Amino acid sequence: MPQATYEGTVTVPLADLQPFPGNAKRGDVGTLLASLRRHGQYRSLVVQHVHPPAPEISTDSATHVDAPRRRLVVLAGNHTAQALNLHGAGDCGQPVQDDTGTRPCGVCGNNPAWELTARCELVICDEDTARRINLVDNRSSDLGSYDADALAELLSFLDNDYAGSGYQEADVTRLLAPPPSMEELVDSYRDPEDEDMWPVLRFTVPPEVRDHFYDLTADCLTPGDDTARFQHLLDRVAPTPLGDAV
Ligand SMILES: [Zn+2]
């Protein structure tokens, strides 16, 4: 498949953009909106520009056919587009506050006339390449990891103002905390009990078998506990002293 070809960077009304059909990633739209408000849209959406096919020349002037429209499909940045949509057009009434004072929202500038738009890098590519770009853009960020020391150092420069960074104070506290000692672990978690070493039965059944199981054990005294239900069933089939174990 040919590679994607960069066509240009344009600002596009959000209403003209199509989300990637079947995008599998579920992003954190709230964190993205907080970032957009604080920093503005620092990264363009990557959008597949599907040009309309050339119009067919018709000699039948009586037949009016709407010209096919271009399609703009968001390959990367679908959740940024959602966050902008969540912001909506016009003044959101939420200026940014930091230790230097108050400044306008990075999305709308607190301008009532702000129109719902996004800055987009348009690329031309075929459908297979579009799918692969959408997949790898989501996947590559999942596969990454962090150098915890470098992350802690970067966060230390924020002077406890984590708004729009995607981090909260509790995250940073956790990051900076030394690993717990054995004594702390024992204090936090009880000593293992015999029951923790018991085998776990886990199996898959058709829904009707599950329903049958629940019907047969409906008179169990602790119906919310499948272990008790299972024991209840065994007791009915063959009561044994082991039945007292649960
Ligand atoms: Zn705003």
Residue 5 confidence class, pLDDT cut points 50, 70, 90:
very high
pLDDT at residue 181, as a whole number: 81
Domain assignment present for residue 221? The answer is: yes
199 and 102 within one domain: no
pLDDT at 246 over 60: no
> How far is the centre of ligand 1, averaged over its atoms, from the C-alpha of 28 (Å)?
18
> How far is the centre of ligand 1, averaged over its atoms, from the C-alpha of 85 (Å)?
11
pLDDT at residue 242, as a whole number: 54
Percent pLDDT > 70 in the chain is 93
> How far is the centre of ligand 1, averaged over its atoms, from the C-alpha of 91 (Å)?
5
Domain span at 232: 194-241
pLDDT at 243 over 50: no
Average pLDDT over residues 25-47: 96
pLDDT at 64 over 70: no
Percent pLDDT > 90 in the chain is 63
Domain assignment present for residue 156? The answer is: no
Domain assignment present for residue 130? The answer is: yes
210 and 138 within one domain: no
> How far is the centre of ligand 1, averaged over its atoms, from the C-alpha of 171 (Å)?
26
- Is the pTM for the entire model greater than 0.75? no
> How far is the centre of ligand 1, averaged over its atoms, from the C-alpha of 33 (Å)?
9
- The last residue of a domain, from among 144, 164, 185: 144
| CATH number of the CATH domain containing 96 | 3.90.1530.10
pLDDT at 227 over 60: yes
Domain assignment present for residue 161? The answer is: no
> How far is the centre of ligand 1, averaged over its atoms, from the C-alpha of 41 (Å)?
12
> How far is the centre of ligand 1, averaged over its atoms, from the C-alpha of 31 (Å)?
14
User: DSSP per residue over the chain, as a string?
Assistant: -PPPEEEEEEEEEGGGEEPPTT------HHHHHHHHHHH---SPEEEEEEPPPPPPP-S-TT---PPPPPEEEEEE-HHHHHHHHHH-SS--S--EEETTEEE--TTTTT-TT---EEEEEEEE--HHHHHHHHHHHHHHHHH----HHHHHHHHHTTTT--TTTT--HHHHHHHHSPPPPHHHHHHHSPPP-GGGGS--------HHHHHHHHHHTTT-SSTT-HHHHHHHHHHHHS--GGGGG-
203 and 139 within one domain: no
Structural domains in the chain (count)? 2
> How far is the centre of ligand 1, averaged over its atoms, from the C-alpha of 89 (Å)?
8
> How far is the centre of ligand 1, averaged over its atoms, from the C-alpha of 40 (Å)?
9
> How far is the centre of ligand 1, averaged over its atoms, from the C-alpha of 51 (Å)?
32
Domain assignment present for residue 51? The answer is: yes
199 and 133 within one domain: no
